Structure 1
Amino acid sequence: MRREQPIFTTRAHVFQIDPGTKKNWVPASKQAVTVSYFYDVTRSSYRVISVDGAKVIINSTITPNMTFTKTSQKFGQWADSRANTVFGLGFSSEQQLTKFAEKFQEVKEAARVARDKTQEKIESSSSHSQASSVNGTDDEKASHAGVADTHLHLKSENDKLKVALTQSAANVKKWEVELQSLRESNARLAAALQEAAASAEQWRRRFCSGRDNSARLRSKVDALEEQCSEINREKEKNIQLEKRIEELESELREKETELKDLRKQSEIIPQLVSECEYVSEKLEAAERENQTLEDKVQALRSDMEESRFRQHHLKGELRSFLDVLDGRLDDLHDLRRGLSELGADH
């Protein structure tokens, strides 16, 4: 069974007063270390011990005349005349400082009680020694032998304490490594969570942008569909114009046939001047009408060419827009697939 056992443990930054100035604090540890109260069952004494790696930075035996003073909400100190220094502890919270101060007061009171009991034993032992001094040198020799045995026992216990401190330092180092590993893991998890949140926000913005683009594309599709309807109406109009042109061409052929007949009649009956003049006038009228019809046919052909050119141009714009629409639809499919994969990862 171990003679000295921990009764309270906390973590704090350890400082010692500067031996030169007696004013400034000098850090005894680079980071927060374990600080523990130990109780020595054999000696009925209490100590504050802290180890940083393999180095003992606090080894202070608590006595009844010591006082732990809070100098701020997270810092406290006490003077150790045996170590000829002043120890300071910086805690991460006021609650930890309060617990340590309360435990210091409890240990100090327990040390006072233990000292009183020890004093009573010493006085009783002194009285017994004075009474037994009359017995002669044999008792004195036995007393000296007992003191020597006590020294050997104390030396053995001190060696055990050194081994325990070394083991405690190794355990503290191991715990600090594990704590650092946990901190790094927590930092990586926090960074991963932040990155996932940023990625989700980015995907959300892209989804909203894609939704807006989809709405604009849908509006443009509706406009193009309206243009397609207009193209269809133009097609129907072109069909009607072609039919009208065919009718006019047929009428023109009939007029040409009639003109030929009239010319033949004018050649066959030259003596009928009056009729010839009449035929000539009719011919001229027919020619004028023919010219008018040709002008109409030419105008209709020009309208048909213009309609065909507009139809071709609208078909080109429609084909280009459909290509762009296909690309945007592919982007939307990729975006939806990315969102699905992101949702599955979460």
Structure 2
Amino acid sequence: MGEQPIFSTRAHVFQIDPNTKKNWVPTSKHAVTVSYFYDSTRNVYRIISLDGSKAIINSTITPNMTFTKTSQKFGQWADSRANTVYGLGFSSEHHLSKFAEKFQEFKEAARLAKEKSQEKMELTSTPSQESAGGDLQSPLTPESINGTDDERTPDVTQNSESRAEPTQNALPFSHSSAISKHWEAELATLKGNNAKLTAALLESTANVKQWKQQLAAYQEEAERLHKRVTELECVSSQANAVHTHKTELNQTIQELEETLKVKEEEIERLKQEIDNARELQEQRDSLTQKLQLLLRVKSSMLKCAKCVFKCIILMLNSSLEPGLWMIMCQQQEVMEISSAEEVKKKAEKSISSEIRKMCKTWEIVKSFV
């Protein structure tokens, strides 16, 4: 049947740096297929991974190997035959656990196959040990064991001539025949195994060609999918950019609407302030008019007070009673008096006129107040 894949997964492949023995060196640019293969002819399990046409992992599983999980997505194992340490980085913890389970399973199968092979070797070696026990009675040279029947015949003749006892030579001859048959059987078995291995090799070569064709097809498909993913990422990035721009525009519109509301409120407030200012201006104008009127009244009253004060001073100077002046004003008599009397008369007229003005002014003030 040849070597067939029994389990496959995808992972990033690493190898330990041969110089430092500490750092990991990536052997694949991207995730590649890592497969378990089983060779039914040789009863061997292998881990194989190809990057293009290059084999980056070719590790035969032995019972002494151990797969170690160093993190949630990374595992490693040491291959003493390849003198290196392989590391695999998986996309998830589930893939790592599945690979580790298969490793343990095939490792156990390799151990059982090795034990069966040892038991088979022990069974095949048993006739040789019995032949060796017969040789103790009659020692044989390597030539007698590995030679042909023609070469063994003279030896038997010489022994018969030297000893001249046919019954004693019969036992060693029977042992040598058994040994010869045993090795002939072994040789036939080896030839059969060799034929099987040759057929398996031819089948493996055919399978390798088929795998290369499949790998080329897989690579083309991977390239196509990679291009498709790149295109989708570009479209997605453009859609994200449009969505982001749309979101920014919506935010800007909301900010402008809020600013417009604030401005409208400010305009209403300013209108109210303008109306209040107009009312205050009207009140100011009205108060200004009233103040001017009061100032005129005040000035008139001051003038009247001055006239009254002057008249009082004249009255005091003339030593006349105020009642006499009033009588003279009411009667309005014209009489001939001296210069002093004329002065008094003029003063009385002036006072009367000022009093009348004061009364009129007071009436006007009362009407405004």
Tell me the residue number matched to 1:111: 110
1:195–1:86 distance in 2 versus 1, CA, 3 Å: closer
| Count of matched residue pairs | 210
1:43–1:132 distance in 2 versus 1, CA, 3 Å: farther
What CA deviation, in whole Å up to 9, does each residue of 1:108-141 have, x standing for no partner?
1111122222222222222245447830324313
Structure 2 CA distance, aligned partners of 1:82 and 1:203?
Answer: 61
**2:41·2:200 contact (CA, 8 Å) conserved in 1?**
no
Tell me the residue number matched to 1:68: 67
2:191 to 141, 148, 152: 148
1:177–1:98 distance in 2 versus 1, CA, 3 Å: same
Give the residue type in structure 1 aligned to 2:122. Answer: E
Q: Is there any run of 5+ residues in structure 1 with no aligned partner, and where?
A: 213-346
Post-superposition shift, 1:171? 1.9
Tell me the residue number matched to 2:86: 87
Tell me the residue number matched to 1:183: 226
What CA deviation, in whole Å up to 9, does each residue of 1:81-114 have, x standing for no partner?
1222211111122221111111111111111122
Post-superposition shift, 1:165? 3.0
Give the residue type in structure 2 aligned to 1:139. Answer: H
Tell me the residue number matched to 1:171: 214
**2:3·2:38 contact (CA, 8 Å) conserved in 1?**
yes
Tell me the residue number matched to 1:11: 10
- Normalised by the size of structure 1, how large is the TM-score? 0.53
Tell me the residue number matched to 2:343: none
Alignment map for 1:110-129 (pairs within 5 Å): 110-129=109-128
Structure 2 CA distance, aligned partners of 1:20 and 1:194?
Answer: 43
Task: Work out which of the two has the higher radius of gyration on C-alpha atoms and give 1 or 2.
Answer: 2
Question: Which is further off, 31-40 or 11-20?
Answer: 11-20
Structure 1 CA distance, aligned partners of 2:83 and 2:242?
Answer: 59
Structure 2 CA distance, aligned partners of 1:201 and 1:78?
Answer: 47
**1:15·1:29 contact (CA, 8 Å) conserved in 2?**
yes
Tell me the residue number matched to 2:271: none
Structure 2 CA distance, aligned partners of 1:201 and 1:126?
Answer: 80
Post-superposition shift, 1:22? 2.5
Post-superposition shift, 1:28? 2.1
1:155–1:16 distance in 2 versus 1, CA, 3 Å: farther
- The SS at the match of 1:127 is helix
What CA deviation, in whole Å up to 9, does each residue of 1:220-252 have, x standing for no partner?
xxxxxxxxxxxxxxxxxxxxxxxxxxxxxxxxx
Structure 1 CA distance, aligned partners of 2:116 and 2:213?
Answer: 36
1:70–1:196 distance in 2 versus 1, CA, 3 Å: closer
Structure 2 CA distance, aligned partners of 1:36 and 1:196?
Answer: 39
Structure 1 CA distance, aligned partners of 2:101 and 2:56?
Answer: 22
Give the residue type in structure 2 aligned to 1:163. Answer: A
- Normalised by the size of structure 2, how large is the TM-score? 0.50
Structure 1 CA distance, aligned partners of 2:243 and 2:114?
Answer: 67
Structure 2 CA distance, aligned partners of 1:154 and 1:88?
Answer: 31
Question: Which is further off, 44-53 or 15-24?
Answer: 15-24
Alignment map for 1:220-259 (pairs within 5 Å): none
Structure 2 CA distance, aligned partners of 1:159 and 1:178?
Answer: 28
Tell me the residue number matched to 1:96: 95
Structure 1 CA distance, aligned partners of 2:64 and 2:180?
Answer: 39
CA RMSD of aligned residues (A): 3.1
Post-superposition shift, 1:198? 5.8
Structure 1 CA distance, aligned partners of 2:98 and 2:38?
Answer: 17
Structure 2 CA distance, aligned partners of 1:162 and 1:84?
Answer: 26
Structure 2 CA distance, aligned partners of 1:91 and 1:3?
Answer: 29
Percent identity over the alignment is 54
